[in-house]
Amino acid sequence: QVQLVESGGGLVQAGGSLRLSCTASGRSFSNYYLGWFRQAPGKEREFVATISWRGGSTYYADSVKGRFTISGDNAKNTVFLQMNSLKPEDTAVYYCAARGIGTVPTARAAYNYWGQGTQVTVSS
């Protein structure tokens, strides 16, 4: 079965950096998007970034463009989220997710595999 396992969350001061990792297993992801979503307390889960595993196309939420970078290591089936210039409003549980290639790569509803989440807390 498909498994997505995140790591790398933690507590950081505003302006700092963290790198999240997500290792995927259980099938071939060559025709998939692997992405990141986040959910802050009392808010809906929102799209952060995603990457097409075959072509490497990337997509970002406007709120993280220029600060976050998504990348992948195909050999290890691992996707990374490098987060720089972190702000208190980036505080959330970050989830790794996967879906088949299709339209609207940012749509949460189209992602059918999810990790357990990792907490990111940014202090002011």
pLDDT tens per residue, range 64-84: 999 999 999 999 999 999 999
CA-CA-CA-CA dihedral for 14, 80, 96, 118, to nearest 10: -40
Q: CA 80, 86, 87 angle in degrees (round to 5)?
A: 140
pLDDT tens per residue, range 7-17: 999 999 999 99
3-state helix, strand, coil in the chain (%, to 5): 5, 50, 40
